[in-house]
Structure 1
Amino acid sequence: MKTSLTLEMEETLYAYCREKGEAVVEEVGMPDDLGIVDTLSLKIKPDQQFEWRCFELKVTKADFHSSAKLSFIGHYNYFVLPDFLYPKVASEIPDEIGVLLYYSYLDPENHSTPGYLVSEKKARYQDLQVAEPELIYRLITAQAREVGKAKQTQRGVRVFSTDQLYRELKRRMPEYDLYGGEVNYYDRFLTETQDQAVEALKEELAALRRAYFQLEEIMLATNSEEGEDAF
């Protein structure tokens, strides 16, 4: 699961690339065991040639030293690091790899992104490590995945099966304490559903009682009229 800092950096990087007129998408799988590019961007140069950039986001020293493969397969490749991490790992960054430093805004509610990026070290041009048609296909596939997610969100929960919804509800409170802790969303959902069912039954019972009393009044009035006619 991504940390809040990773999500902030990812959002800021996406906006950063878009401002430069680049097509950009996160988590793009590469062929031939080349891993997953955290963020991949593409722009077309004045000579009508494509320029590809790969970004790897790291938020801690342990993350930087992770065994996860670094998918630096583009023309220009970068680490995106929080400002406090760079001094700890600067000596380990290869000469050809660029560095963008992330700084959080003190008042993010007044900005369109949580923070901003500063170029600390320029990347050197490299030959592509993946054939360009393959890269184009991977970029389009990743974008299609994100469009699919957006369409599901727009259509709401009706696109998900009941089993999927229950699984999601069950996992929504990772710190769920069975003995006295906060009630998780699954339990809350069940409780609210049961409460709604009870309220619906109460309303139905009240409606039946009203109908019964109305019917009783009609029958009493009818019997009274029939009694008067007998005399």
Structure 2
Amino acid sequence: MQTIGLVGGMSWESSAAYYEALNRGVEERLGGLHSAKTVMSSVEFAEVTAMQETEDWDGVAKVLAEAATGVDRAGADFLMLCTTTFHRVAEQVQDAVDIPLLHLGDVVAQACVSAGVEKVALLGTQFAMSRTFFTERIARHGLEVIVPEEHRHAELDRIIYEELVHYQVVDDSRRKVVALIEELWDAGAGGVILGCSELELLVKQADSELPVFGCTSLHVEAALDRALG
């Protein structure tokens, strides 16, 4: 079994979901008392979020690269960033370490292609939806990526940062997000990417007639395939 390296803390709830899913996945695949071999370095969410808000991406890259370097030195065989938004600096993080980075965008795109989806919608933070760093990575795999209309972005951000990162799962917010998914279906989406770990707390496949691609779930499955393969 390979050792999985994790850079977490963005948010800690997201990191906890990764850790639990990885260990449950190993237990399900191998049985008995088996668990995942992991090394995690967790950054301070408020610090990197403040840098994001001021567009200090060199600062973000430095913090995450230092965390990744520690994970590398601790014996990880490959690296995961437990975040979507901060994949904005994935290339800089990869350049800082000697182990491969399992890029979330590639993992999600491959799942969409395997499911026969050609046009996919992305839901996530306002930053992830309004910038191209993540959608362009997905589009490299031959997919067309759409996002909600701009006036919808702030409400999604509110749900993520004011509710979900504090483990507050609100039924009214679920209804709003499901309604947004239906709008994107009308716009031609053949599937929807939950491009923020916390959104998987809110929306499940049972809530949508469209195929739902949860970033955390897919990232974890890809990591397990690699670690146990």
Tell me, yes or no, whether TM beats 0.5: no
Relative to its length, the structure with more helix (as a share) is 2
Instruction: Report 1 or 2 for greater relative contact order, CA contacts < 8 Å, sequence distance ≥ 6.
Output: 2
- Structure 2 length-normalised TM: 0.29
- Structure 1 length-normalised TM: 0.29
Relative to its length, the structure with more strand (as a share) is 1
